């Protein structure tokens, strides 16, 4: 597994745990065995993703609400919601990664951590978001 995929998975774990406990991610990471064994580069990128996602959470969630008009964000599975949040952070604010790569990474992580239909749901939401943005001037 590549460093950036590992970092995305670590960031997902941090965001998921943060959502459940409201503990700061700095405190959460210290209790994760996966975190301790991850390369330093993965840890740095994971913190960048988690911190960036939480910093822009209101804007990200607003964009997700618009994109998931038939689904209340509060009713989404916590894993799916946080995978979407991470991907939306990268698509909106961390523009170093090509959108197609962000989409593929989110789908693969959803396959690993989500429910049976998670990957398809994540793909639909993110693909719809990317298509809607491409239509804007």
Say if residue 136's pLDDT is above 60: no
Asked whether the beta carbons of 10 and 35 are under 8 A apart, the reply is yes
Instruction: Note the pTM of the prediction, 2 decimals.
Output: 0.93
Kindly tell me the burial class for residue 107, based on how many C-beta atoms sit within 10 Å of its own C-beta (0-12, 13-18, 19 or more). buried
Q: Cα separation of 32 and 49, whole Å?
A: 17
- The string of pLDDT tens digits covering residues 72-84 is 888 899 999 999 9
Say if residue 9's pLDDT is above 60: yes
- The per-residue pLDDT for 14 is 96
Q: What kind of fold does domain 3-135 have according to CATH?
A: N-utilizing Substance Protein B Homolog; Chain A (1.10.940)
Say if residue 137's pLDDT is above 70: no
In the chain, where the domains are located: 3-135
- Give the residue from 104, 110, 129, 96 showing the smallest Cα distance to 16: 110
């Amino acid at each position: 597994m590549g460093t950036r995929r590992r970092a995305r998975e670590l960031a997902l774990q941090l965001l998921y745990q943060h959502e459940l406990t409201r503990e700061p991610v700095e405190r959460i990471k210290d209790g994760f065995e996966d975190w301790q064994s991850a390369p330093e580069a993965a840890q740095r990128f994971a913190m960048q993703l988690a911190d960036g996602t939480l910093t822009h959470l209101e804007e990200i969630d607003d964009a997700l609400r618009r994109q998931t008009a038939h689904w209340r964000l509060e009713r989404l599975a916590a894993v799916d919601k946080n995978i979407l949040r991470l991907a939306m952070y990268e698509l909106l604010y961390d523009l170093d990664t090509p959108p197609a790569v962000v989409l593929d990474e989110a789908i693969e992580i959803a396959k690993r951590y989500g429910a049976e239909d998670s990957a398809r749901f994540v793909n639909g939401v993110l693909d719809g978001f990317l298509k809607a943005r491409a239509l804007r001037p």
